[in-house]
Structure formats: C-alpha cells, structure tokens
Amino acid sequence: MTAHTLVHVVCTDAFAGVERHVLSTAVHQSRHGHQVVVVGGSRAHLEPALDEAGARWLPGATLVEAWQSLRSLNAPALLITHMTAADALGGWWSLRTGAPVVSIRHFAAPRGGRSVTRALLRPIVRRIRAQIAVSHYVADAIGAPSTVVHTGVEPSLSSSLSRENVALIVQRLEPEKDTATALRAWAQSGPPAGWRLLVAGDGSERASLERLAATEPSVTFLGAIDTVPDLMARASLLLAPTPREGLGISVLEAMSHGVAVVATDAGGHRETVGSVPGAALFPPGDAGAAATLIAGLVAESERRESYGVALARRQRDAFDRDTQTSALTRAILAAGAAHG
C-alpha cells in the first residue's frame, strides 16, 4: 500500500469510545507506513501510544485549538473527521485548502442535536467527500450515503480457567447509556454469594446510580480506570444495556476475551453479540428480561463458557482489529482518491 499523509481530527479532550477508535486506527496506519497525525483527544492517553508508533499528536480540544493545529501542518493530503465538531471543522478546512475530507460516523443520528443546528451545518459538511459508518445500524440512521466498515479489536489470549465470579459494566455513566437498567437487572437476578458487579466508568449519573445500588452490597463503582483489559481477562459476564449503541468497543473487547455478554437487542449489538446463535439479548429497558438472562448464565457455568467461546470465535472471524482497520484505511483512501 502506498504511504499517505492521514490527519485524524476529534475535537475533544476525552478518551472514550470514539477516541479509542481513533487511537487504534492511527497506530495501525502508522505502523503500516503512513504518516499519521491525530488532532484532539486526551493527550495523556494518546500522545505516548502515538509516539511509540511513529505518529504525532496535536492539541484539538476546541474548534479554535484544532484549527490552529491544522494550520501548523503542511496542508494535509487527507483529513479524517470524527463527530460533529470535527466534521464542521473539516468542511471549513476543505473550503479553504481543497483537501479531501472523509467522515467516520460513530453514532446513529444525523449531525447536530437540533434541526436549527443541522440546517446551519448542512452547507459546511457538504464539503465532506465521503462517509464511513461503523455499523449498518449507524448507516441506516444517519440519513446519508455511507460505506460500512465495522470496528475491530485485538483478539485476546484470555483463558476460561482464570475466570472469576465477576460481572462488569464498562461505559460512560450518562443517561443515553441506561446503566440503571443493568443495575436493576443485576439486583433482580438475585446474584448468589461470591458474585460481584464492577462498574467501570464515570459520568454525570454516577451519584444517582450509586444511590440506586446502595442496597446491593455486591456492586462496586470503580470510576474511570485504565485496567479494563485486566478486568475483562478475569470477568465472566459483561452487561451492555445501551439502547442505541453504534457498535460498542467494550462489547467487542469482552467478546475477544470470551466473556459472556448480556446486551440489549438493539443498535449495533445485533451485529456483534446478536450474530452469535443463542445470544443473550433483551429488549431495551427491560430489567426483568435482562435479570432472567443473567441468572441463567450465572447458574450454568458450562453454558456461560461455551457462549463466551462462541463470542470469541465470532470476534476473531468478523471483528479483528488488523483486518478491519486495513479495510477502513482502504475505504478512506479510495474515498479520497475518488473525489480528489
């Protein structure tokens, strides 16, 4: 593959699912010979890993900061934008420089939360040459043509022999993630002695969720931590209650570790967990149905382990990081060349 200059823009200072996708993609592209720059995202999380891979990080938490970082570069050959703010910046950058812009669509919604915002964005984002959606669910929801390339994660070597009686919730504690349903389901499942539910993540709902779980001693809130892979290697269950998940990197990571996943029968979960026969899926918001699935998997270790093995096999076959990132890079380069 011919080397190209690729500039990813994500106008945040966070390190959540989108920023993790950017980092994984940028590292893979750099290691395959491309010159890669990432503008935005958490410096503490991105810069060391990008430096190690031979890529660069530049500040871009705000539109102004990202614009200044772009101006410090030679006009990038290809801009790859993530989320609405970066898409808007990319449109303006293309208007000024003529550089092609490809947008990666992570969420199942049109750009902008309100119709007025969407109207203001429309003439700007017309400069975007092509869109790539992380799932068919996202592609169907964004209301514009796109190419679907599923996200991938690195396969794990976790062994079922090291499993502990631990269930996980790994996500931002924000309203759209519906963590409350998972907590209610856990309590209703009547977890036996020795089982624990660990909640990894932080957000605006943390205090209210801690109050909701106050009477359930098996639940522990860990906050935002960097040891999720270690937890995945030891856990037996992952609860994924989000009703509108674009795809779900944490779900894919759990699959890679052979963790049994109990997820909503909605969104990108249907393309990941739902692609395995006998998947443990429940209607969005239905804590009772989720509790029944949890109780069954907790009680039947052989069923739980065989389900985890099937999920791990599916991840390796369809959601492998190197395979999917190579496909994403080809799609990005094809889009840039076709519209250059």
All domains of the chain in start order, with CATH: 5-152+320-338 (3.40.50.2000), 160-318 (3.40.50.2000)
Alpha carbon 52 to its chain's center:
22
pLDDT at 220 over 90: yes
Q: What's the whole-number mean pLDDT along residues 147-159?
A: 88
This prediction's pTM: 0.92
Nearest Cα to 67, choosing from 102, 47, 97, 108? 97
3-state SS assignment for residue 39: strand
Over 191-207, what HEC string results?
CCCCCEEEEECCCCCHH
Q: What is the pLDDT of residue 338?
A: 66
Confidence of residue 120 (pLDDT cuts 50, 70, 90): low
Residue 24 burial (10 A CB sphere; 0-12, 13-18, 19+):
buried
Q: What is the pLDDT of residue 160?
A: 62
pLDDT at 51 over 50: yes
Q: How far apart are CA 186 and CA 147, in angstroms?
A: 38
Q: What is the pLDDT of residue 143?
A: 83
Q: What's the whole-number mean pLDDT along residues 181-188?
A: 98
Least confidently predicted of 6-15, 71-80, 215-224:
71-80
